Chain A
């Protein structure tokens, strides 16, 4: 083999570059951002369904909520724990989770779920932030 030294050194350098991500971040996962729970939500203490289930299935729940309310006029959700909730993204979900940026957007950004257009229509307004700020008004 001609120029064996150069080639081998070149190969080592190439392998070093090619495998850089593996030995640099090897075994470590980038930590997912934690959704921030508002003080009001903490006071309430529970979501419509158990937190773990909500994390995995909130998108299905929101879809079912939408169809039930809009198309079947069933506007009350009886959760698996037997509690009743008004079906409303703006008036029920956002009452606790009034911090959309730190509750919804953060994780969606991380997970690459950008195509949602909920907020083109549903209001995430200052008024709602005011509700959350004045806990005692409920």
Chain B
């Protein structure tokens, strides 16, 4: 992942390891400072970054034990942000339980077929069904689709009889990011 090649020249940031809220916040705010583009694009990157890295933190099947007993376990995974001519590409990867793979594929396929208005409707419906005490609202992928305005690409590869590896890639266009 980190070997020297043409992709490394495009890389703005990359990380592999446990994702805690403090690390996510630190990196997200750092990105706001270092991305050399207009404010609208920086905000979109910040918002996609928070949603997808928190998904890794909450749902990765590979977790890091906290040294403090009262603190929850942290999901382990990686992320990269690369700079291409027309867009920024944000990717995350993490281990998942094998049975979750088909659900993630189905949900992503549904998200990619919907218009912006239909995505908002799905978000409202899904959010209203989430329990208050759930860690997330189960709408992170929908929100990512809305913010990016692009299809979400996912790849799932088999690891062993219980686990798969889940990768997600989202393009954020450099144009039409007016905020």
Do A and B assemble together?
A: no
Binding site for A on B (CB under 8 A): none
